[in-house]
Amino acid sequence: MKKYSEMTKEELKEEYGVLRKQYKEFQYKALSLDMSRGKPSPEQLDLSMGMMDVLNSQGDLSCEDGIDCRNYGDLEGIPEAKELLGDIMEVNPNNIIIFGNSSLNVMYDFISRSYTHGVMGSKPWCQLPEVKFLCVVPGYDRHFKITEYFGIKMINVPMLETGPDMDMVESLVSADESIKGIWCVPKYSNPTGNSYDDETVRRFARLKPAAPDFRIYWDNAYTVHHLYDHHQDHLIEILAECKRAGNPDLVYKFASTSKITFSGSGIAACAASLNNLEDIKGQLAIQTIGPDKVNQLRHVRFFGDIHGVVEHMRKHADILRPKFETVEDIFERELGGLEIGTWTKPNGGYFISFDSLPGCAKEIVAMAKKAGVKLTPAGAAFPYGKDPQDTNIRIAPSYPSLQEIEMAASLFTLCVKLVSLKKFIEKAEA
Amino acid sequence: MKKYSEMTKEELKEEYGVLRKQYKEFQYKALSLDMSRGKPSPEQLDLSMGMMDVLNSQGDLSCEDGIDCRNYGDLEGIPEAKELLGDIMEVNPNNIIIFGNSSLNVMYDFISRSYTHGVMGSKPWCQLPEVKFLCVVPGYDRHFKITEYFGIKMINVPMLETGPDMDMVESLVSADESIKGIWCVPKYSNPTGNSYDDETVRRFARLKPAAPDFRIYWDNAYTVHHLYDHHQDHLIEILAECKRAGNPDLVYKFASTSKITFSGSGIAACAASLNNLEDIKGQLAIQTIGPDKVNQLRHVRFFGDIHGVVEHMRKHADILRPKFETVEDIFERELGGLEIGTWTKPNGGYFISFDSLPGCAKEIVAMAKKAGVKLTPAGAAFPYGKDPQDTNIRIAPSYPSLQEIEMAASLFTLCVKLVSLKKFIEKAEA
């Protein structure tokens, strides 16, 4: 295919006309597809239906140590669940608290607690003139919504191939006491799909923040969410690394089973140093009498142990992999060599990140929407919804069927071409 | 029995000696009983074991309107659950949000949101020089712990036979803009067990608070928790009453199934005006992607409708009633006519409230503990744990077996007598 940059004005216009017709044809199909959120498909959810059978009225809902899961109590979660989540999160069960069905809720609560009561004895953030957070971009929109909601000023840190720009992170956190945290999705990152390399994690563990209440919010949402058996990203375990570096309290690590079992009915967990956990439990004891232990037991009985989880994640991968590859194949076929967009090819996680030519992303998303394909709003992966270059679009291929993905990806590339062509035509006419 | 007040010094001492021996005998038994918390007994939890069978791997986990309960979303809860909780709470399902497993957590979050973001556009409480709450006393210790945690100044309002002292409530809230709320357990109140009468509820609905962000925290925890079929307390529905009174936004009403199904794994709900709900959902959309809908569905499928709940609560009553009556009988037999204590005889709920002679409660609880019966700490039912008269003790008869209750109640009355006798002897010797 000829690059648009090498076409004459007439060629550009002719190509635009041809593609515009194809776009009209898509519009006649009256599609209604949603690639906006990282939702598991029904087929993926079916994988966990067995979880509905592991507890029944004839069985015993007690833990190994005798705790009756049906009653109140046990703020930190049941021992079996701490062990299972410990294995998933690669940390000691003693460093874990099990929460309810949403790790996002846990992160919100952590920000809220820091805002109202401070961190391990520090001044509550609501009493400070200004609080700032670093945000790796593109990143997870719902992280940014939380900090925005609390009036925390967000500073963009670019995501590189290796992870966040650590030169920038180091110089910012060491100089500015008002910077209290950084949002990270370190493995199969949302939305780029790449993982932080060893050097990056080591530099994180060795940060020297000016603020003693600075914490790394390490949202390891996709820790066991590989797409391939033989191409798996490996991430250095941050808690151990922080301890080694003499910074044991520097990090909160989050995970959940939301994209392992049922998205709405999983269990969430936080791993942190014992000092941090004590601080957290002080608040938790006021907030609740305890988590849903029956659901914890249900998860443990369903998986048995980490091997059960690994086996289960292979089945997810078998469903997800063809969807990712379909998108990547269509992108390559339709856009390869055109130099009007780049995209990531992750080994795991839930997203492909697409970058258009500058100033095109919003229009591409709008065009796709008009033809019945809903994408994450352009800019969503940036604080305040503002992508400075207007290039980034998050593609979430998990929910639609393979056939729908084909359709949606084809339409998407068509929109990318049309919007890019318009830019070239405008330039040629200017 | 001769009243202690009519005994001579010698008679008092003789009686003390006799009872002291009985107390020693109790100590030899090495009891280990817990009457400190309102925990359902294992027999009560067994009533809901059928809930573990209503969902299974062959069934459909979709709502009537097609929502897949396994996936993300639906912030307000599923329609069926809103209908069921609506019936339990006697409000329109449109006025309900379904939350997670703990209504205490919901209340904490409400206080926290008001503290960080205000109430329907008001100034956040963290920016005010002082925030105060009214606390009906004796009341629920965990309510008071929340307001204490947020540094909210608590003012005691005495609980009368009819409910809180409304003269005091009215004059305080109309005069002081820093009073932002009142904690209420209006039905089968924790710990007194009595319910607010019609006049009290009507006066609540007609409050004219100086603070526009004043809210009644109406924790209707025991709404369907009757002990008797024919002696049931009836409470005027507060949301409707507030609307009638032209104060639709004045109240947040809370309930949960914690003491209906499994204490740790129920579902909680809040009912409020549409204005309040909009305010709440603004925050909730930042905090979480949605509640555990599978557990909501499980509850709906288990009960069918409100009739299923009513039937189910009769079975709870059949287990609880003999325990309450045993305590009341032993109290009457051992303490009746002695004029050294009074106690409540509730028609529902989870507690009996005992009032000793002034200055005796702490010592009674300590003595019971030394003989192996754990009671709620004296003073717990008051803000800051401070019972100004040191008279109130909360009795929670739900968890121990009937036989254990007999033992515990006997020991308790013995401790009441011993501590009271000591007071009389001291007085006689003074």
Mark whether B356 and B419 lie in a shared domain: yes
Look at residue B246 and tell me if it is in a domain. yes
What does the alpha-carbon distance between residue B113 and residue B125 come to, in Å, rounded to a whole number?
9
Which domain, by its residues, includes B16? 4-44+310-429
Residue finishing a domain among A255, A277, A304: A304
Sheet of A153-160: strand order equals A96-98, A268-271, A251-256, A215-219, A179-184, A132-137, A153-160, A163-164
Give the mean pLDDT of A351-368: 98
In contact, A23 and A425? CB cutoff 8 Å: no
Mark whether B188 and B89 lie in a shared domain: yes
Q: Token digits for A426?
A: 């405008």
Look at residue B51 and tell me if it is in a domain. no
| Shortest Cα–Cα distance, A291 to chain B (Å) | 6
Mark whether B122 and B258 lie in a shared domain: yes
CATH of the domain at B18: 3.90.1150.10
- DSSP characters for A221-253? TTTT-BS-SS-------HHHHHHHTT-TTSEEE
Per-residue confidence in pLDDT tens, chain B, 430 aa? 789 999 999 999 999 999 999 999 999 988 899 999 999 999 999 999 999 999 999 999 999 999 999 999 999 999 999 999 999 999 999 999 999 999 999 999 999 999 999 999 999 999 999 999 999 999 999 999 999 999 999 999 999 999 999 999 999 999 999 999 999 999 999 999 999 999 999 999 999 999 999 999 999 999 999 999 999 999 999 999 999 999 999 999 999 999 999 999 999 999 999 999 999 999 999 999 999 999 999 999 999 999 999 999 999 999 999 999 999 999 999 999 999 999 999 999 999 999 999 999 999 999 999 999 999 999 999 999 999 999 999 999 999 999 999 999 999 999 999 999 999 999 999 8
What pairing do the DSSP bridges indicate for beta strands A373-375 and A33-35?
A: parallel
In contact, B155 and B133? CB cutoff 8 Å: yes
Q: Cβ–Cβ of A264/B70 closer than 8 Å?
A: yes
Mark whether B23 and B126 lie in a shared domain: no
| Shortest Cα–Cα distance, A292 to chain B (Å) | 5
Mark whether A191 and A320 lie in a shared domain: no
Q: Phi and psi of B215, rounded to 5°?
A: -135, 145
What does the alpha-carbon distance between residue A218 and residue A252 come to, in Å, rounded to a whole number?
6
Judged against a pLDDT cut of 80, whether residue A34 lies above it is answered with yes
In chain A, residues 245-284 whose CB comes closer than 8 Å to chain B: 258, 262-265, 283
Q: In terms of Cα–Cα distance, which of B395, B389, B392, B345 is closest to B373?
A: B395
Q: In terms of Cα–Cα distance, which of A360, A343, A365, A351 is closest to A412?
A: A365
Position A389 scores a pLDDT of: 96
Mark whether B226 and B122 lie in a shared domain: yes
Residue-wise pLDDT for A203-231, tens only, equals 999 999 999 999 999 999 999 999 999 99
Mark whether A150 and A132 lie in a shared domain: yes
In chain A, residues 103-132 whose CB comes closer than 8 Å to chain B: 104-105, 108-109, 112, 115-117, 124, 126-127
Q: Cβ–Cβ of A104/B146 closer than 8 Å?
A: no
Position A255 scores a pLDDT of: 98
Q: Which helix (H) or strand (E) holds A345?
A: none
Q: Show residues of chain B in contact with A299, CB under 8 Å.
A: none
Mark whether B340 and B222 lie in a shared domain: no
Position B163 scores a pLDDT of: 98
- DSSP characters for B348-411? BSS-EEEEESTT-HHHHHHHHHHTTEEEPPTTTTSGGG--TTS-EEEE--SSS-HHHHHHHHHH
What pairing do the DSSP bridges indicate for beta strands B251-256 and B268-271?
A: antiparallel
Look at residue B49 and tell me if it is in a domain. no
Look at residue B27 and tell me if it is in a domain. yes
Q: Token digits for B207?
A: 């409050």
Mark whether A319 and A282 lie in a shared domain: no
| Shortest Cα–Cα distance, A280 to chain B (Å) | 13
Does residue B289 sit at the A interface (CB-CB below 8 Å)? yes
Q: Show residues of chain A in contact with B289, CB under 8 Å.
A: 102, 104, 142, 263-264
Look at residue B55 and tell me if it is in a domain. no
Does residue A54 sit at the B interface (CB-CB below 8 Å)? no
| Shortest Cα–Cα distance, A257 to chain B (Å) | 12
Look at residue A346 and tell me if it is in a domain. yes
Mark whether B150 and B273 lie in a shared domain: yes
What does the alpha-carbon distance between residue B372 and residue A403 come to, in Å, rounded to a whole number?
68
ipTM for the whole complex: 0.96
Q: Which helix (H) or strand (E) holds A298?
A: helix A293-303
In contact, B418 and B15? CB cutoff 8 Å: no
What does the alpha-carbon distance between residue A101 and residue B265 come to, in Å, rounded to a whole number?
12
Count of the separate structural domains present in chain A: 2
Q: Cβ–Cβ of A288/B264 closer than 8 Å?
A: no
| Shortest Cα–Cα distance, A146 to chain B (Å) | 6
Q: Cβ–Cβ of B265/A290 closer than 8 Å?
A: no
Q: Show residues of chain B in contact with A50, CB under 8 Å.
A: 57
In chain A, residues 65-104 whose CB comes closer than 8 Å to chain B: 68-74, 100-102, 104
- DSSP characters for B293-360? HHHHHHHHHHH-SHHHHHHHHHHHHHHHHHHHHHHHHHHHHHHTTT-SEEE---SBSS-EEEEESTT-
The 8-class DSSP code of residue B7 comes to S
Q: In terms of Cα–Cα distance, which of B383, B381, B380, B379 is closest to B134?
A: B383
Mark whether A102 and A200 lie in a shared domain: yes
Q: In terms of Cα–Cα distance, which of B330, B269, B308 is closest to B105?
A: B269
The 8-class DSSP code of residue A74 comes to -
pTM for the whole structure: 0.97
DSSP three-state, residue A429? helix
For chain A, what percent of residues have pLDDT higher than 70? Answer: 100
Mark whether A177 and A205 lie in a shared domain: yes
| Among B294, B301, B302, the residue to mutate for chain A (most A Cβ within 10 A) | B294
What does the alpha-carbon distance between residue B42 and residue B8 come to, in Å, rounded to a whole number?
47
Residue of B nearest to A74 (CA): B264
Q: Cβ–Cβ of A263/B72 closer than 8 Å?
A: yes
Q: Cβ–Cβ of B116/A126 closer than 8 Å?
A: yes
Position A430 scores a pLDDT of: 85
Look at residue B50 and tell me if it is in a domain. no
| Shortest Cα–Cα distance, A129 to chain B (Å) | 12
Residue finishing a domain among A251, A281, A304: A304
Position A291 scores a pLDDT of: 94
Does residue B294 sit at the A interface (CB-CB below 8 Å)? yes
Position A351 scores a pLDDT of: 97
Does residue A55 sit at the B interface (CB-CB below 8 Å)? yes
Judged against a pLDDT cut of 90, whether residue A1 lies above it is answered with no
Q: Token digits for A301?
A: 């009985």
The 8-class DSSP code of residue A133 comes to E
Look at residue B296 and tell me if it is in a domain. yes
The C-alpha angle with vertex B197 and arms to B191 and B199, in degrees rounded to 5, equals 140
Q: Cβ–Cβ of B50/A39 closer than 8 Å?
A: no
CATH of the domain at A155: 3.40.640.10
Size of interface A-B (CB pairs under 8 A): 165
Look-up of token digits 């409540």: B344
Q: In terms of Cα–Cα distance, which of B405, B225, B400 is closest to B325?
A: B405
Does residue A295 sit at the B interface (CB-CB below 8 Å)? yes
Residue finishing a domain among B304, B338, B353: B304
Select the residue of A39, A57, A264 nearest B292 (Cβ to Cβ).
A264
Contacts of A310 (CB under 8 A, 6+ apart): A224
